[in-house]
Amino acid sequence: MGVMMTIPRDIKSQVFSVGCIDWDRRLFDELIPLPDGTSYNSYLVKGCEKVALVDTVNPPFVDVLMENLGRLDVDVLDYVVVNHAEQDHSGSLPLIHDRYPKAEVIVTPRCKELLMSHLHLPSDVFKVVGDGDTLSLGDKTLKFVYTPWVHWPETMSTYLVEDGILFSCDFFGSHMATSNLFADPFTVYEPAKSYYAQIMMPFRKIITKNMDKLDELDLEIIAPSHGPLYSDPNFIMDAYRDWTSEDVNNQVVIPYTSMHGSTKKMVEHLVCSLMERDIEVQQFNLSQLDLGKLAMALVDAATLVVGTCTFLAGPHPLSAHAAFLVNALRPKLKFVSVVGSYGWGGKTVEVLQGMIPNLKAEMLDPVLAKGQPNDEDFEALDKLADQILKKHEELNLQSRTMVERYR
Q: CATH number of the domain that 148 lies in?
A: 3.60.15.10
Task: Tell me what the mean pLDDT of segment 258-284 comes to.
Answer: 96
Q: Is 284 helix (H, G, I), strand (E, B) or coil?
A: strand
192 and 255 share one domain: no
Q: Give the up-direction half-sphere exposure of residue 216: CA atoms within 13 A in the CB hemisphere.
A: 9
pLDDT at position 109 over 90: yes
Rounded Cα–Cα distance for residues 310 and 260 (Å): 11
The Cα–Cα gap between 368 and 342 comes to 7
| Residues 328-342, mean pLDDT to the nearest whole number | 96
Residues 270 and 231 in one domain: no
Cα of 310 vs its chain's centroid, Å:
32
- Residue 27: the pLDDT is 83
State residue 110's pLDDT score: 97
Q: Are residues 86 and 52 in the same domain?
A: yes
pLDDT at 296 over 60: yes
Supply the Cα-derived Rg of the chain in whole angstroms. 24
Cis preceding linkage at 151, omega within 30: yes
Among 244, 261, 291, residue at a domain's last position: 244
With contact defined as beta carbons under 8 Å apart, do 281 and 322 qualify? no
Q: Is the pLDDT of residue 14 over 90?
A: yes
Q: CA-CA distance, 197 to 222, in Å (whole number)?
A: 19
**One domain for residues 254 and 343:** yes
Residues 112-119 have a mean pLDDT of 96
Q: Higher confidence at residue 337 or residue 5?
A: 337
Q: Which of 230-239, 281-290, 340-349, 366-375 has the lowest mean pLDDT?
A: 340-349
Cβ atoms within 10 Å, residue 247: 16
Say yes or no: 358 and 377 in one domain: yes
Please check whether residue 405 lies inside any domain of the structure.
no
Of the candidate ranges 6-20, 42-56, 345-359, the one whose mean pLDDT is the lowest = 345-359
Q: 3-state DSSP call for residue 27?
A: strand
Q: Is the pLDDT of residue 404 over 80?
A: no
Q: Would you say residue 401 lies in a domain?
A: no
Domain range for 257 is 249-394
Q: What are phi and psi of 358, to 5 degrees?
A: -75, -15
The total domain count for the chain is 2
Give percent of the chain with pLDDT exceeding 70. Answer: 97
For position 3, what pLDDT does the model report?
45
Cα–Cα distance for residue pair 308/262, rounded to 1 Å:
10
Clarify whether residues 150 and 165 are in a common domain.
yes
Confidence band, pLDDT 50/70/90 cuts, at residue 5: low
Does residue 263 share a domain with residue 233? no
- Residue 78 within any structural domain of the chain: yes
Does the model's pTM come out above 0.85?
A: yes
299 touches 237 (CB < 8 A): no
DSSP-derived secondary structure for 167-204: EEETTT------S-SB--HHHHHHHHHHHIIIIIGGGH
Q: Which of 92-101, 126-135, 171-180, 285-294 has the lowest mean pLDDT?
A: 285-294
